[in-house]
Amino acid sequence: MPQVSFEIVAECPHTRARTGLLHTPHGTIETPVFMPVGTQATVKGLTQRDLAEDLGVGILLANTYHLYLRPGHELIRQMGGLHKFMSWPNAILTDSGGFQVFSLSGLRQIDEAGVVFQSHLDGDRHVFTPESTVDVQLAYGSDILMVLDECPEYPVSHESARQSMQRTVRWAQRANRHFLGRMAESPTRHALFPIVQGSCFPDLRRECATALADLGADGYAIGGLSVGEPRPLSLQAVEATEDILPRGKPRYAMGVGMPVELPEYVARGVDMMDCVLPSRNARNGYLFTSGGRVIIKHAQYKDDERPLDPKCPCYTCRTYSRAYLRHLFQAGEILFSVLATRHNIQRYLDIMREIGDAIRSGSFPEYLRCARSAPQDAG
């Protein structure tokens, strides 16, 4: 029996978009889905009740690297796993920590065995291997685990990207063997997703996807996006692998994107996405609405009595004016981050629901055209 199963419910005949149901040990999630990022086992500014009950979030992402350093995977295991530790009732996906480790360019060394790195907190040395990152994520009790991959920066030469990609494949094979061995003796169910790499070279992306498809995993991720490359190249990286990755398995584009980009990835066969933008930008006063972006510090909102987004059902938009939100931001009040994050997450979730509705109704191409021509800034 697969650890995580996926069924396609509806497909768009004009694009590669589809809706589906992702079945996990902690609930079934409708796809396409956006996963809020809870780096430190919390989405900054929101409680778990806000997320699960008010916003209807069925799955969120937590960060293996940061939780490994603090409070530590063994403590989380002793506390009953990440779900119990953070009082989260729904599904959890954890990354492998690879992206964070490889961003520590001056503090890590890579070889075939894995990565030796120094903690950004205290300088202590640690080792991540394909096998150890599986064990760490199993200690968390994650529903979906990610393999350790090598995530090259952009730009990178074709040869360097090729070597990095081939190492990612070898690491994925090792991680998969170790994971299957652990699952043979595990009383709980989990899934491990390998990650397609290859920078912005379509031939390397296809080679990687072909090798990883042979693993027969329960789902596949597309990594190495949002590392400084132009947006069109990110979309091309996804396109290069769409016809190779198993159609009946969920596809996860890691670390994307802006609201206007979400339907673009779905149109290319992506089912799952995550990004820090809605929460990070919220704290910085950059708000996403159905009419475009609102930079709340701008003076035009000083006496604006309108809700942030009249079409938004969230508590923030039902209750407060743009003028009040601007006041909170200018005063540095914590409440601003709470209200703004709540709204931005709501907006991302609403976009995914709109996309799903459009696919099921047969109007997704029209939705995509409207998204591409939508104004950048709200009135």
Q: Extract the tokens encoding 32.
A: 């396409």
For residue 33, give Cα distances in angstroms to 18, 36, 171, 198.
Answer: 11, 10, 27, 25
Higher pLDDT, 28 or 227: 28
- Decide if 63 contacts 100 (C-beta within 8 A): yes
Given this model, what pLDDT does residue 2 score?
60
- Decide if 227 contacts 198 (C-beta within 8 A): no
Instruction: Report the pLDDT averaged over residues 47-73.
Output: 97
Instruction: Report the pLDDT averaged over residues 129-148.
Output: 98
**Residue 41 φ/ψ region, left for φ over 0, alpha for ψ in the -120 to 50 degree band, beta for the rest:** left
Number of other CB atoms surrounding residue 283 within 10 Å: 16
Domains and CATH numbers, the chain: 5-275 (3.20.20.105), 282-373 (no CATH)
Over residues 271-304, the pLDDT tens digits come to: 999 999 999 999 999 999 999 999 999 999 999 9
Given this model, what pLDDT does residue 176 score?
98
For residue 279, give Cα distances in angstroms to 101, 189, 257, 261, 274.
Answer: 22, 30, 12, 17, 11
Given this model, what pLDDT does residue 38 score?
97
How far apart CA 218 and CA 5 sit, in angstroms, is 7
Which residues belong to the active site? Answer: 95, 274
The percent of residues in the chain predicted with pLDDT above 70, rounded, is 99
- Phi, then psi, of 308 in degrees rounded to 5: -55, -50
Over residues 191-247, the pLDDT tens digits come to: 999 999 999 999 999 999 999 999 999 999 999 998 889 989 999 999 999 999 999
Q: Which residue type, as a one-letter code, is found at position 362?
A: G
Return the residue matching tokens 């979730």.
349
Over residues 162-201, the pLDDT tens digits come to: 999 999 999 999 999 999 999 999 999 999 999 999 999 9
Over residues 62-82, the pLDDT tens digits come to: 999 999 999 999 999 999 999
Return the residue matching tokens 């987004």.
309
Residue among 77, 62, 72, 178 at smallest CA distance from 130: 178
Instruction: Report the pLDDT averaged over residues 144-154.
Output: 94
Given this model, what pLDDT does residue 99 score?
82
Over residues 359-377, the pLDDT tens digits come to: 999 999 999 999 999 999 9
Given this model, what pLDDT does residue 228 score?
86
- Predicted confidence (pLDDT) at residue 37 exceeds the cutoff of 90: yes
